[in-house]
Structure 1
């Protein structure tokens, strides 16, 4: 029995995997000497831990019984034909992602991004900036997505007495259920936050008309998927011409963002470079989740965070 791991781990974390799965042969990508060895290991693997590239290798693994992704998202893997059980890191990244959004919103509202630039320039503006600062308290917020990340963001914002409305097709917490209802609700929001998974239904969901409906003192945020926007250039245009107050973007349509991309030059825009789920003990938590699920797998118990590839969640 073979576990193939494609995630860079410290030696102590590798040992934790080996000790837990002591009856398995544990193969780690960074210990292999060639692509041929990697391909052979995946073909023979019973369990895959991590996000294998190239993706098609997973369809060439006839013994594969379980895939544990090291991420919450798995957009590129949705066309796999594997019969293996598939699990992701669903809730693990919800806390860091929510804190990233909150940090970005507060940075814009309280001028932290501007103060950082002033520090670099060694420029004191003092009291003149005070009347340009916003308060988060009691803001009207729309969160696109009522899953773990969306709900975690809502919980944090509730501490600021924000009024939060969720958009989702069928979730109980959602009071906005259709794109038409969303378009009608956007003009009343101070903050719109995307926290949707990548599915055929969510790709391009946020249309140019919706961007145009954002009021001038409101901000747009996205920690879900970069393809949420039907046309990212329309958001760029709204930011450059100050038709909206700013943006906090953890995800973008193209990643990594090229050096010449116009988003780099947009005012009042915070780009967190798809690092929203990161934290100091990220790898430890990912391995802990794998070990918990491995014990479930070995005991024929239900695995945590199972997903349906075609549905995207």
Structure 2
């Protein structure tokens, strides 16, 4: 059996794949390791299974792949820095670090008065692995934590948990609203004009999930009207974020370039999950992290 490796990986990790008993193939492969889109899917004659190095699979769910019998698995469950990145964004906004960095660049001694994260109410949209780990970090900072999820979930770090239909009921309580959601039909533009109007004027929106979960034009309008206090964004509706986007010049917006998951350890952790599934596939056992194509996660 063969694996088509459609992303850059180290020679060491390539060896790990081979040690699982697989050769490296092309369009004749039974397995494909991908990152993002899979534009030439139709050229694979023997494909049985696609593994994505990401957690989100929205870029893979084309009509061709949806209509096929090919299994999709993702890299859910590996230790990820995304919760740390979300905390860094909130702390940067609260402590006004973007202003401090600007003063540093000008060699200006500016004793900025920042806020405090402790005591704030953090509302996490999506209590999967990332959302639950983020909840633990928020609790360590003495925050109040709320969350919604599609399925029932329990956590000692979350004070209040609701199903997804409780979004509007819980939004007005939040100081920070953090999207940790995959992109599906249900989550597309989950936060839009109506939702921003329900938030506190002091609320801050954070997105470390998928860009289109937020209606970007509605967000820009809400920021301009000062309906909310700010936004911290790692993902966007269009990436790279166009230079013409008003978000770049907004003083109450912090931007990072879809890098919340990027560390030197990411690839090794992903390969560990992939190789576990390669061994399962070879022996005919059930694969971990199988994606429900209809649900989108």
TM normalised by structure 1 equals 0.86
Partner-residue secondary structure (3-state), 1:192: strand
Q: Which residue of 1 aligns with 2:272?
A: 288
Instruction: Kindly state the Cα deviation for residue 60 of structure 1 after the two structures are TM-superposed.
Output: 4.1
Do structure 1's residue 92 and structure 2's residue 75 form an aligned pair? no
Instruction: Kindly state the Cα deviation for residue 52 of structure 1 after the two structures are TM-superposed.
Output: 6.7
Do structure 1's residue 247 and structure 2's residue 231 form an aligned pair? yes
Q: Which residue of 1 aligns with 2:23?
A: 25
Counterparts of 1:59 and 1:175, CA distance in 2:
42
Q: Which residue of 1 aligns with 2:57?
A: 74
Partner-residue secondary structure (3-state), 1:103: helix
Do structure 1's residue 137 and structure 2's residue 135 form an aligned pair? no
Instruction: Kindly state the Cα deviation for residue 136 of structure 1 after the two structures are TM-superposed.
Output: 0.9
Instruction: Kindly state the Cα deviation for residue 161 of structure 1 after the two structures are TM-superposed.
Output: 2.1
Consecutive unaligned residues of structure 1, counting only runs of 5 or more, are 28-40
Name which of 179, 190, 195 aligns with 1:194.
179
Residues 11-34 of structure 1: per-residue CA shift (max 9 Å, x gap): 22222222333xx3313xxxxxxx
Count of aligned pairs = 289
Instruction: Kindly state the Cα deviation for residue 187 of structure 1 after the two structures are TM-superposed.
Output: 1.7
Q: Which residue of 2 aligns with 1:35?
A: none
Counterparts of 1:178 and 1:50, CA distance in 2:
30
Do structure 1's residue 177 and structure 2's residue 163 form an aligned pair? yes
Instruction: Kindly state the Cα deviation for residue 277 of structure 1 after the two structures are TM-superposed.
Output: 1.0
Q: Is the 8 A contact 1:77 1:309 kept in 2?
A: no
Instruction: Kindly state the Cα deviation for residue 254 of structure 1 after the two structures are TM-superposed.
Output: 0.8
Partner-residue secondary structure (3-state), 1:247: strand
Question: What is the RMSD of the two structures over their aligned residues, measured on CA atoms?
Answer: 1.8
Partner-residue secondary structure (3-state), 1:143: strand
Counterparts of 2:225 and 2:107, CA distance in 1:
28
Q: Is the 8 A contact 2:82 2:130 kept in 1?
A: yes
Equivalences for 1:91-240 in 2 at 5 Å?
91-92=77-78, 95-126=80-111, 129-130=112-113, 133-173=114-154, 175-179=161-165, 181-229=166-214, 231-240=215-224
Do structure 1's residue 273 and structure 2's residue 273 form an aligned pair? no
Instruction: Kindly state the Cα deviation for residue 310 of structure 1 after the two structures are TM-superposed.
Output: 2.2
Consecutive unaligned residues of structure 2, counting only runs of 5 or more, are 155-159
TM normalised by structure 2 equals 0.91
Residues 212-243 of structure 1: per-residue CA shift (max 9 Å, x gap): 222122110111111112x3112112223433
Counterparts of 2:8 and 2:274, CA distance in 1:
14
Partner-residue secondary structure (3-state), 1:175: strand
Do structure 1's residue 261 and structure 2's residue 268 form an aligned pair? no
